[in-house]
Amino acid sequence: MRIFDPHIHMTSRTTDDYEAMHAAGVRALVEPAFWLGQPRTSLGSFTDYFDALVGWERFRASQFGIAHHCTIALNPKEANDPRCAEVLDVLPRYLAKDGVVAVGEVGFDSMTVEEEKAFARQLELAVEFELPAMVHTPHRDKEQGTRRTLELVTESGLAPGMVVVDHLNEVTVDQVDEAGCWMGFSIYPDTKMDEHRMVAVLQRRGLDRVLVNSAADWGRSDPLKTAKTGAAMLAAGFSADDVDRVLWRNPIEFFGQSGRLLVDPDLADDASDAGSDASATFEGNSILRGSRD
């Protein structure tokens, strides 16, 4: 099984996770810029974070045989903090970089005026940079948030096929499907969407325009939920080709629209990549801690 996790926050994960993901078949991922739990108080903490996403984290993933891409944005939650407003001005610098495959996560958290302004502005940037957009839907008021999200997408002029609306469930999927956007599903360990509910959604509406992700981050989450969804699909009678479509070819098709993928789309299913050199360095730093003698 070859897996492309289209939404996972590796900055918050360990080297054990990288090893387990590689063993489960993960060969590529997208790490969206998001909220770190602790509020940021200045522009500098955002630019350092964005630099880490396109630099150190990509290097770290490469040491485990995984191609790391990212998306860049001012996230919905911090769009409410006036100290973070300047972030919007530095985004163009990052949206031009290699391996930045979308604008995101954008969207709504609490559906405020500030969130809507930042969201609309960033959809404009997606149009300007000809990039897809990754849209977060609120965990509360999900239905109304999704409806307003789709209105803003229409107003932006960004083609629906360039937009993934994420964290969907059985209630919100149909309106996103009708709008022609891609449908993202985050599979969580104890709450919300799980792999069995995901399989039922796939049985009901098919495999078109569906992305399945672990959304693993600093909260309770599981970076192997993509592989577990693949296993649940097989157990439910889907073919290996169906699993490959959902877990590999669909994310390649969606993020390939950026023209900036760093992974071979035809990567062999059983590719055991050339062993990485753990002593390799990024700006003088390696993933080893000190020397071994």
Nearer to Zn ion among residue 181 and residue 215 (C-beta): 215
Specify the DSSP class assigned to residue 275.
P
CB of 9 to Zn ion, least distance (A): 6
Nearer to Zn ion among residue 6 and residue 25 (C-beta): 6
Residue 11 carries which side chain, given as an amino acid letter? T
CB of 270 to Zn ion, least distance (A): 30
Q: Where are the beta strands (DSSP E) in the chain?
A: 3-5, 26-32, 67-72, 100-107, 133-136, 163-166, 182-186, 210-213
The angle formed by the CA atoms of residues 70, 81 and 89, to the nearest 5 degrees, is: 55
Which CA distances in Å does 67 have to 3, 60, 202, 279? 11, 10, 27, 18
- What is the contact surface with Zn ion in residues (CB under 5 A)? 34, 215
Nearer to Zn ion among residue 131 and residue 215 (C-beta): 215
69: Cβ–Cβ under 8 A, 6 or more apart, which residues? 28, 29, 30, 31, 99, 100, 101, 255, 260, 261, 262, 263
Nearer to Zn ion among residue 106 and residue 210 (C-beta): 106
Q: Which residue sits closest to Zn ion, CB atoms considered? A: 34
Nearer to Zn ion among residue 34 and residue 64 (C-beta): 34
CB of 148 to Zn ion, least distance (A): 19
Nearer to Zn ion among residue 10 and residue 215 (C-beta): 215
CB of 162 to Zn ion, least distance (A): 19
End-to-end alpha carbon distance in the chain: 38
Residue 253 carries which side chain, given as an amino acid letter? E
φ/ψ (deg, to 5) at 28: -155, 155
172: Cβ–Cβ under 8 A, 6 or more apart, which residues? 137, 142, 143, 146, 165
Nearer to Zn ion among residue 142 and residue 205 (C-beta): 142
CB of 53 to Zn ion, least distance (A): 13
Please check whether residue 143 is in contact with residue 108, taking contact to mean a CB–CB distance below 8 angstroms: no
Name the H helices within 100-194.
113-129, 142-156, 173-179
Specify the DSSP class assigned to residue 282.
B
CB of 272 to Zn ion, least distance (A): 30
CB of 138 to Zn ion, least distance (A): 13
CB of 26 to Zn ion, least distance (A): 16
Nearer to Zn ion among residue 25 and residue 107 (C-beta): 107
Categorise residue 32: left if φ over 0, alpha if ψ from -120 to 50, beta otherwise: beta
